[in-house]
Amino acid sequence: ARTLRIGLIPGDGIGREVIPAGRRLLESLPSSLNLKFSFVDLDAGFDTFKRTGTALPDKTVEVLKKECDGALFGAVSSPTTKVAGYSSPIVALRKKLDLYANVRPVKTTAGSSGEPIDLVIVRENTEDLYVKEERTHDTPEGKVAEAIKRISERASSRIATMAGEIALRRQKIRDAAPVSTRSKPMVTITHKSNVLSQTDGLFRETARKALAAERFASVVKEEQIVDSMVYKIFRQPEYYDVIVAPNLYGDILSDGAAALVGSLGLVPSANVTDGFAIGEPCHGSAPDIEGKGIANPIATLRSVALMLEFLGEEAAAAKIYTAVDANLDEGKLLSPDLGGKASTEEVLNDVLKRL
Ligand code: NAD
Ligand code: MN
């Protein structure tokens, strides 16, 4: 059996309620999968900051780097007013571990109305405007602020390659399902190179080149200007499979796309580098429902599956997706954010029962 060591970083608020659910899911996977897990609890977040003066202790980074195959990150609260010395631990983790891709699947289940949506946004996570190189000048007409938008061939190439690989893997999972909903994988390259011919132009050209590789021969390639992408993703979300985008467009598209499904409590994500992944529900620490035991664990359970996919455990991931979809399709044990009455524990137990 393969043993995977998983770092658990609950963070703040409902992170502490949903990450234990993720751990129980891993512990409950059928033994036929031949997978074992060991866990290490790690600190990060605003409470950690208040206690220790740092939101991301060095130890957390060290243990992730040296010991772990993957990790689960809950959510962190950010202070409402600027607090000296505080910065977001997940942003720091992305840098320190070179988690260069943020992957966000958005999926509805058979039970929901309208055409089924099953798309994934693959966002470049290390450059673009997020290099945070800004400056402000005083001019006779008043202040002028500017920021660097950095696009590199290396980062564009590896994110497009990852998008191609995700597309192939999704097709494999679809083909193994009883009803395959799409016959060919597709990657849509998002850009604004009609205006930004050098930066977005480089992203588009490089992504095109990366996806022209022989192993992506079966992948349908498309390009879409980001503003019309926003229009189409709302008008015709069922059309899309994999969408690859530079950092800023990917950030906006992925939060927007999360609105296509019923609740933030359903949407997973993963922060990925080669051979390592951190699963992370898209929602925050939800102070309004903290401590009530009613947080929807599904975003986390799906993040567990997504992490496993990137660790090469597709069969385990598929089992989890199927169990979660069955819970949602039946619709009897739903948490309050989906109009139900079930607790975190009850939703989790229902999913575990279906494994
Ligand atoms: P939020 O995602 O925490 O909550 C938004 C709304 O969705 C709330 O009404 C909440 O109850 C509900 N919700 C979220 N997750 C849910 C779940 N699993 N089950 C049921 N309902 C759920 O966003 P917010 O309220 O804007 O932010 C709260 C705190 O979280 C802030 O401090 C913010 O900075 C932080 N935050 C962190 C992350 C992250 O860690 N990645 C993301 C967003 C916000
Ligand atoms: Mn965002």
pLDDT tens-place string over residues 289-309: 999 999 999 999 999 999 999
Q: Which residues contact 142 (CB under 8 A, 6 or more apart)?
A: none
For residue 256, the CA-to-ligand 2 centroid distance in Å is 9
pLDDT classification of 182: cutoffs 50, 70, 90: confident
Which protein residue has the closest C-alpha to ligand 1 atom 30? 284
Q: Is the pLDDT of residue 334 over 80?
A: yes
From the CB of 285, is ligand 1 less than 6 Å away? Answer: yes
Q: Which of 91, 264, 271 to mutate to test the pocket of ligand 1 (most atoms within 8 A of CB)?
A: 264
For residue 292, the CA-to-ligand 2 centroid distance in Å is 26
For residue 284, the CA-to-ligand 1 centroid distance in Å is 3
Q: Which residues contact 341 (CB under 8 A, 6 or more apart)?
A: 334
Residue 81's pLDDT is: 84
From the CB of 283, is ligand 1 less than 6 Å away? Answer: yes
For residue 175, the CA-to-ligand 1 centroid distance in Å is 35
Q: Both tokens of residue 88? A: 């977001």
Q: Which H helix or E strand runs over 270?
A: strand 270-273
Q: Which ligand is nearest to the CA of 256?
A: 2
Strand ranges of the sheet holding 118-124, from the earlier edge strand across to the other edge: 35-41, 2-11, 70-75, 276-279, 270-273, 101-107, 118-124, 242-245, 186-191, 220-225
Higher-confidence position of 92 and 304: 304
Greatest Cα pair distance, the chain, in angstroms, is: 72
From the CB of 201, is ligand 1 less than 6 Å away? Answer: no
CA distance 326 to 193: 42
Question: Could you report the per-residue pLDDT of 116-154, keeping only the tens digit for each?
Answer: 899 999 999 999 999 889 999 999 999 999 999 999 999
Amino acid at 307: M
Of 230, 240, 233, 265, nearest to 118 (Cα)? 240
CA distance 45 to 91: 11
**Considering the entire predicted model, what is its pTM?**
0.93
